[in-house]
Each structure stands twice: as C-alpha cells, then as structure tokens.
Amino acid sequence: MTRRQFPLFFFITCCGFDIVRSTICGACQVEPLPLFLNKRVSVGVHWTKTTSSRAECAAHCSHFHSIRSFGYKGSTGECVAYTEPLTTPADTTYVGETGFNMFSTCASVNHFGSCVTSADCTAAQTTCNEGLCVCNIMHVYSHGSCVQGCSMFGTGFTTFKNKNIDNHNDKIITNVETAETCMSLCIAEEDFLCVTADYAHTANGCILSSTTWYEAPSASHLDSTNFDVIIRNCA
C-alpha cells in the first residue's frame, strides 16, 4: 500500500442484492431491511451524501466503525449513514417516505465486539467507543491486535470524538465537509505519511499529521468539542 492509493471499492449486483468488496471491510452482502421499506429513520444520523448506487453508499459507510445501517433513495442517490442499530420500527423513530429504504451495511473489521462500557472489552489495550470495543487511543489496530508501530499503514481508521492532537499540524485543509473526506485526504497525502487527522466538524477543517497519538507528548493530547481525532490503522 503506497501513500498515494485510495480505498478501492468493487460493486457486484446479484439476485437483487449488492456484494461490496473494499479494502476497508473485505466482502459483504448488503441486504434490505424489509420492515423499513419506504421508511426514513429520524435518529442516529451520522452523515448524508449523494452516491451513484446503494453499493457505493455501503462502501462509504464502511469507513466508520460506528455505522450500523444506512438509508438509500434510488431516485436521488441520497445516502444516509446511521449509528443506531435497527430492530423494528416500533423501537425507533421514523417517517414514511416512498422510495427511501433502510439496509444493513458492511461490518467494520477493526473492532473486538460490542460493549456498553470499557469493562466489556477484554482484549488487551481496548476500550469501548460508540458501542464497539476498539483499540484505545494510544494504540492502532493491526490484524486483530492493538499495537504501537506499523510497518505499513492501511486505509482503515478509528475515530475518537472530542479529541485532537495539538502542535503537530503538517497540513491544514479548509472546506472539508465530512470526516470521510478528511480520511481520504490523509490516505492521498503525497508530501508526508499521514497517520493522524483532526476533523474540525464545527468549521469543516481537516488537519493532517505525520505524528501518531502515542508519539506525541501528553501536553498535545487535548479534549475539544470542536474536533474528532482520526487514527489510521495498520495495513
């Protein structure tokens, strides 16, 4: 994997379902949720974008370990990512909307199971983050383990809300509308190896860094309601 490569997505339609194969989540089958036909869920929205197909929508969702489902409207290409797990319409809030349907999404591979608190995460160096056990902020995911040091970085990321790494700003990019775009900019960076990014969700800014969280001094580890820190996983 070179620093210039973008995540790869391959879409195959078979028997009415989409098979999504990507460098993020491997291969998975995207299935409709029949109880949510012509229903738009109103809670747990992570982001909204326009895509060319529901398979592309599912592949974009695979960037985020917190996304549990997505909604897609074929007539407009509207793709909505949700953090709320879906069971039945009675257990969530929704409005009726013709042509807007809910689907399962690719499960992210960089986690160690579900959790309520970090006490539920039994693997070494893991913590509970948005309902999933992931490597804690001082480590990065590598082939089922949490490590400090990657021989090569991949295209997957782990995001921690309300954190940012200070005084290690190798490049600042403005007018970045989504955290996913910030991730893609990190992967595509050619001037240095980007391994950490801060996404300023209140100002649409993306700050790229060649310094990992665990390499930075503790004085650079900040809590902030304006930023989310995006940590790049090993290949």
Q: What is the pLDDT of residue 137?
A: 96
- CATH number at 9-104: 3.50.4.10
Pair 127, 121: CB distance under 8 Å: yes
Q: Is the dihedral of CA 41, 42, 46, 50 positive or negative?
A: positive
pLDDT digits (tens, 9 = 90+) for 9-28: 333 333 344 544 444 344 55
Under the banding of pLDDT at 50, 70 and 90, the label for residue 50 is very high
Q: How far is CA 208 from CA 4, 93, 212, 218, 228, in A?
A: 15, 37, 11, 18, 12
Q: What is the pLDDT of residue 213?
A: 96
Q: What is the pLDDT of residue 22?
A: 41
Tell me if residue 9 falls in helix, strand or coil: strand
pLDDT over threshold 90, residue 6:
no
Cα(197)–Cα(232) distance, integer angstroms: 8
**Identity (one letter) of the amino acid at 177?**
E
pLDDT over threshold 70, residue 211:
yes
Q: What is the pLDDT of residue 110?
A: 67
Q: What is the pLDDT of residue 21?
A: 46
pTM score over 0.75: no
pLDDT over threshold 70, residue 93:
yes
Domain with CATH 3.50.4.10 in the chain: 9-104, 148-234
Under the banding of pLDDT at 50, 70 and 90, the label for residue 108 is low
CATH 3.50.4.10 assigned to domain 148-234? The reply is yes
Under the banding of pLDDT at 50, 70 and 90, the label for residue 29 is low
The HSE-up count of residue 109 (CA atoms within 13 Å, CB side) is 18
pLDDT over threshold 80, residue 65:
no
